[in-house]
């Protein structure tokens, strides 16, 4: 296991995992030009749980997509350790996503024709150093529903399968885009607890983007985003447990 990711969450390493400087992303051309990212400067460190807060349209999803290798920036620096994401080829990005990134989406995006266990196993088959799918599902408290198909699971359960799928490969980074956006409060809390536990126990750098300010309480660091750049950020002295959140 990578020594950096196994460090406890309090000891944030000096060297950032992500190094972002002057990152811009422009969609469209001419009159229709939209600056989704307008010069983002940001460092993200191993083991920390960062919440990226901002209204819709502020560019936070674009940033997440760039961090996850789903999209390439128009200009600026974007490095994952020594890997330059701005010049990477399609094949490099695929390898990067496969080995280092876990994604959790608002709408779960499970493969409907595979059971919970198989959805996770799909990833563990191609990962370098995965955990058994059953272990990943136990981490999100789904050890009892291994052989259910997505259609047989509730929204919260589906999202927890998605988390298990994301972490089973022991990624260095876990990127969550509005993970509770489609869920009610109670199931949302259960999902956040699962994310919190993964961050704590595996030391995975976790970035959650949301427009729900309540979630800021569970973060090590809260990054406020607006108009395509980091507006300001603050660090919580202590992290509130996810179970204490309410909205």
Partner 1 sequence: MLPNLDRKLLRDLTRMKGQVVAVALVMACGLAMLVMARSLIFSLESTRQEYYEAQRFAEVFAHLKRAPNALAARLAEVPGVATAQAGISVQVTLDLVGLDEPASGQVHSLPDFGPPELNRLFLRTGTWLPPGSRGEVLVSETFAEANQLHPGDQLALLLNGRRKEYRIAGLVLSPEIIFEARPGASLPDNRTYGTFWMPYKEIATAFDLYGAFNDLTLTLAPGAQLPAVIAELDRQLEPYGGLGAYGRADHPSHIRVSDEIRILRTLSIGFPLVFLSVAAFMTNAVLSRLLTLQREQIAILKAFGFGNRQIALHYLKFAFVIVAAGTAIGAVAGVLLGHRLVVMYHLFFRFPNLHFRFDRSALGLALAVGAGAALLGVFHSVRRAARLPPAEAMRPEPPANFRPALIERTGIGQLFSHSFRIAVRNLERRPVQALFTVAGLALATGILIVPNCFRDSVGELLGFQWDVVQRQDMNLGLVEPASLQVRDLLRQLPGVLAVEPFRGAAARIRFGHRSRQIGVQGMPADTQHSRVVDAHYREIVLPPEGLVISAKLAEVLAAQVGDELTVEFLEGRRPLRVVPLVAVSEDLTGIAAHMELAALNRLLGDGDVMNGASLTIDMAHRGAFLHALKQIPRVSWVGIKESLRENFRRTTAASINLIQSIYLMFAIVVAFGVVYNNARISLAERARELATLRVIGFSEREVGAVLITELTILALIALPLGLLLGTGFAQGIVSAVNTETVRLPVIFTLHNYAFATLVVTAASTISALLVLRRLKQLNLVSALKAPE
Residue from 84, 125, 129, 184 binding partner 1 (CB under 8 A): 125
Q: Which helix (H) or strand (E) holds 18?
A: strand 18-27
Q: Which helix (H) or strand (E) holds 92?
A: helix 90-100
* Structure-block tokens of residue 187: 């199931």
| Phi, psi (degrees; rounded to nearest 5) at 134 | -65, -40
Residue 91 in contact with partner 1, rule: CB under 8 A = yes
8 Å CB contact between 104 and 195:
yes
- Nearest approach, Cβ of 154 to partner 1 (angstroms)? 12
- Nearest approach, Cβ of 216 to partner 1 (angstroms)? 22
- Nearest approach, Cβ of 106 to partner 1 (angstroms)? 7
Residue 114 in contact with partner 1, rule: CB under 8 A = yes
Residue from 58, 61, 204, 210 binding partner 1 (CB under 8 A): 61
In 3D space, the residue among 205, 223, 242, 219 whose CA is nearest the CA of residue 102 turns out to be 205
- Nearest approach, Cβ of 65 to partner 1 (angstroms)? 5
Residue 24 in contact with partner 1, rule: CB under 8 A = no
Q: Which helix (H) or strand (E) holds 185?
A: helix 185-202
Which residues have a Cβ under 8 Å from the Cβ of 180 and sit 6 or more positions away?
A: 159, 187, 188, 191, 192, 210, 212, 215
Q: Which stretch binds partner 1 (CB under 8 A): 165-173, 188-196, 224-232, 238-246?
A: 165-173
Please say which residue, 94 or 243, places its beta carbon nearer to partner 1. Answer: 94
Residue from 90, 186, 237, 244 binding partner 1 (CB under 8 A): 90
Q: For the beta carbon of residue 243, count every other beta carbon within 10 angstroms.
A: 12
Residue 134 in contact with partner 1, rule: CB under 8 A = no
Residue 112 in contact with partner 1, rule: CB under 8 A = yes
Residue 225 in contact with partner 1, rule: CB under 8 A = no
- Nearest approach, Cβ of 4 to partner 1 (angstroms)? 21
8 Å CB contact between 36 and 25:
yes
Rounded distance, CA 187 to CA 173, Å? 23
Sites of contact with partner 1 (CB under 8 A): 61, 65, 68, 70-71, 90-91, 94-95, 97-99, 101-103, 105-107, 109-115, 118, 121-123, 125-127, 149-151, 165-166, 169, 177
């Amino acid at each position: 296991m990578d020594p950096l990711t196994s460090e406890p969450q309090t000891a944030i390493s000096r060297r950032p995992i992500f190094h972002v400087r002057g990152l811009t992303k422009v969609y469209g051309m001419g009159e229709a030009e939209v600056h989704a990212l307008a010069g983002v400067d940001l460092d993200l460190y191993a083991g920390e749980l960062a919440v990226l807060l901002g209204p819709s349209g502020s560019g936070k999803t674009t940033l997440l997509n760039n961090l996850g290798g789903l999209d390439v920036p128009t200009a600026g620096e974007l490095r994952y350790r020594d890997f330059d994401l701005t010049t990477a080829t399609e094949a490099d990005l695929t390898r990067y996503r496969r080995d280092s990134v876990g994604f959790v989406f608002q709408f779960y995006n499970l493969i409907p024709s595979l059971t919970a266990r198989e959805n996770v196993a799909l990833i563990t088959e191609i990962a370098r150093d995965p955990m058994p799918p059953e272990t990943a599902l136990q981490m999100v408290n789904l050890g009892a529903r291994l052989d259910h198909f997505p259609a047989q699971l509730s929204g919260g359960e589906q999202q927890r399968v998605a988390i298990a799928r994301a972490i089973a490969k022991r990624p260095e980074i876990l990127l969550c885009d509005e993970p509770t956006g489609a869920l009610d409060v109670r199931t949302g809390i259960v999902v956040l607890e699962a994310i919190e536990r993964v961050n704590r126990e595996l030391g995975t750098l976790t970035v959650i983007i949301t427009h729900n300010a309540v979630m800021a309480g569970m973060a090590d660091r809260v990054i406020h985003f607006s108009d395509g750049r980091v507006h300001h950020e603050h660090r919580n002295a202590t992290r509130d447990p996810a179970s204490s959140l309410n909205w």
